[in-house]
Amino acid sequence: MIDTHAHLDACDDRPSALIRRARSAGVERIITVGTGIDSSRAALELAELHEEVFVAVGIDPHQAGDAEANRIDELRELAEHERSVAVGETGLDYFRDRAPRDRQRRLLEAQLELAASLGKPVVIHTRDADADTADVLAGFDGAVVMHCFSSPGLLNTVLERGYYVSFAGNVTYPKASDLRATAAQVPDERILAETDSPYLAPQARRGRPNEPANVVLTVEELAKVRGVDAADLGARIEANAAAAFSLP
Ligand SMILES: [Zn+2]
């Protein structure tokens, strides 16, 4: 199994312990995701130490108004690293609205350009910004992973365009019936699962820091709503992730 989105550098526990527990849960690969330059660099250092770990390098939308947004040249260097499998997370967040929206758009566009020039997929964070996210992504030709998918209204567009749809622990929450209905509609070849560790622990672990081992619980929930076997879905997701991120 694979956890397609974790922030190992933001977890309190040591990465080696998190990776060991993931392995014993059957999670053999983890994509750890940078949220800025330093975080992306730390993620790559982990990937150099642990064969289980691959990296997405990016600058998240919250920093679009800061000096961080001007570090695209540094991001390019990190994205060229052999363990970098994607650019992101990047996107638009009009819910937390921590940076001006036009700056968020510009930073997203710059990272799409970078991904396109390297032939890498992008990992997209979007919150309360469905229309603008769809609009900006329309100009991007590469593979797109919609991380922590929580935008049922965006599903049709996303499926029409062939994007990958990744579900996190929030799909297991009692109130998330709309999201579960959405998860049932994603075709087999486009579905992914993630933890977004240390955030969004699945219901059975709620209130505790999340970790990659828990992706198993999210896959179980997804299998239940899709009426399929969890091990089969885990294998399907692993194949999808290998295709989306060109994993070895
Ligand atoms: Zn994330």
Cα-to-centroid distance, 226 and ligand 1 (Å): 24
Cα-to-centroid distance, 6 and ligand 1 (Å): 6
Cα-to-centroid distance, 161 and ligand 1 (Å): 22
Cα-to-centroid distance, 58 and ligand 1 (Å): 10
Cα-to-centroid distance, 196 and ligand 1 (Å): 5
Per the structure block, which two tokens stand in for 235?
Answer: 């294998």
What distance in Å separates the CA atoms of residue 88 and residue 7, rounded to the nearest whole number? 12
Please tell me the CATH superfamily of domain 2-244, with its number: Metal-dependent hydrolases (3.20.20.140)
Cα-to-centroid distance, 248 and ligand 1 (Å): 23
> Once rounded to an integer, what is the mean pLDDT over residues 119-131?
97
pTM, full prediction: 0.97
Strands (E), 118-211: 122-127, 144-146, 164-167, 191-193
- The backbone torsions φ and ψ at residue 232, rounded to the nearest 5 degrees and listed phi first, read -65, -45
Q: Are 11 and 198 in contact (CB under 8 A)?
A: yes
What distance in Å separates the CA atoms of residue 248 and residue 245, rounded to the nearest whole number? 9
Cα-to-centroid distance, 165 and ligand 1 (Å): 14
Between strands 191-193 and 29-33, the pairing is unpaired
Per-residue pLDDT at 104: 97
Per-residue pLDDT at 52: 97
Cα-to-centroid distance, 198 and ligand 1 (Å): 9
Ion ligand 1 residue ranges (Cβ < 5 Å): 196
Other C-beta atoms closer than 10 Å to the C-beta of 102 total 10
Computed over every residue of the chain, the mean pLDDT equals: 97
Per-residue pLDDT at 102: 95
Cα-to-centroid distance, 7 and ligand 1 (Å): 6
Element (H, E) at 22: helix 15-24
What pLDDT band is residue 248 in, cutting at 50, 70 and 90? confident
Q: Which of 172, 237, 241, 230 is nearest to 201 (CA)?
A: 172
Q: Which of 35, 105, 40 is nearest to 79 (CA)?
A: 40
Cα-to-centroid distance, 89 and ligand 1 (Å): 7
174-198 pLDDT, tens digit each:
999 999 999 999 999 999 999 999 9
Cα-to-centroid distance, 209 and ligand 1 (Å): 14
Domain boundaries, the chain: 2-244
Cα-to-centroid distance, 5 and ligand 1 (Å): 6
Cα-to-centroid distance, 147 and ligand 1 (Å): 7
140-153 pLDDT, tens digit each:
999 999 999 999 99
34-65 pLDDT, tens digit each:
999 999 999 999 999 999 999 999 999 999 99
Cα-to-centroid distance, 28 and ligand 1 (Å): 19
Cα-to-centroid distance, 139 and ligand 1 (Å): 23
Q: Which of 158, 161, 74, 87 is nearest to 117 (CA)?
A: 87
Cα-to-centroid distance, 193 and ligand 1 (Å): 12
Between strands 84-93 and 122-127, the pairing is parallel
Cα-to-centroid distance, 237 and ligand 1 (Å): 18
What pLDDT band is residue 154 in, cutting at 50, 70 and 90? very high
Q: Are 6 and 33 in contact (CB under 8 A)?
A: yes
